[in-house]
Structure 1
């Protein structure tokens, strides 16, 4: 009888204005060999009491330290444990950059990085969200369709989401400074065919950020299709993990 494949810990980075809570439903869909771990920024979600930073490089370092510490503890329980990263939209760039720093910290690269619905840093357009009023930014959040309506109907929660979005846009404006980011592990690039923000061809440009082979996968739906159909995404992830 062949040995069971080593388990993989998948560190998942949320989209702009969100917390790791968006990945809670994934935990019930993953098999026993795939561990879903949501990653929050300092000052948000599970790390609410920590100091927030609006500097991209400092944020990557803080998140990498958090993930590396978690990985070390997890590997004490299971020495065979491998790890991978997943990032959706705003979280894609962070996931790739954090994964690169974690690799340096623990001396082992991720087995794969899965990126979804995100423009590479060199394709980031000028950001004009500073010119939007809170009401206009909230209208954009509603139109994008990635936030549950029950949250948007609550005035206090909607204002909280607007604040989170503004914080994340400050970080995203700094992404082009890291257009030279390169990793040595393979990428899976997930593109939704009806995504109004990122075309499949643009998603494929992420391949230039890795010296390893990338795989491009197209799925049906819009910008948040990956989060709306997590079972399909977990299946795609499973196809690219070590057997």
Structure 2
């Protein structure tokens, strides 16, 4: 990760703290929207709005008491999802980059969600057992958002299944857009080309998917089990 990227994410944090109302998640996400829209001169805004609507609709309908996000970046989707987690519930967001995790933690705290949204540094492969113990995760999650390396979607989904964390009632959300900090950001991500094996696995498992597309490009998939693998 370059110093340029570090400055960008630090600037985001400074902007959010300065321009949003503390303790108000909607104000925080609105400030982040303005920052990225300004930074990229509006490029990708339509895709971003489609992604946000698909996420909001799925999570608000589920109102998850336990959820997991894999790929926190700077905490935008953690805040959006966290708004719908009721008191006593928890969203565990896993981020492998320590700087992004630190920035996300502060943004989540500023949004007033520190009692229900928790950021863990590492990968699902390395941290799942510790996360299960720390947060007493013994039953299925209500929702999972996959928002990291597309090639890790299937292995991580299988890890969660093996631990009984994915079951019939779990909503699985797949973000096919590349976040600004990704090393691959800017290249055209093709779905299901990049995630073909993952999508095939979902289909074979009897899980119907609703994929939200814009100008022929897949952006976000919402999937629910009809049976347990």
Fold shared, TM-score > 0.5 on shorter chain: no
- In our comparison, the structure showing a higher alpha carbon Rg is 1
**TM-score category of the 2 structures, normalised to the smaller one:** 0.3 to 0.5
The TM-score, its normalising length taken from structure 2, stands at 0.42
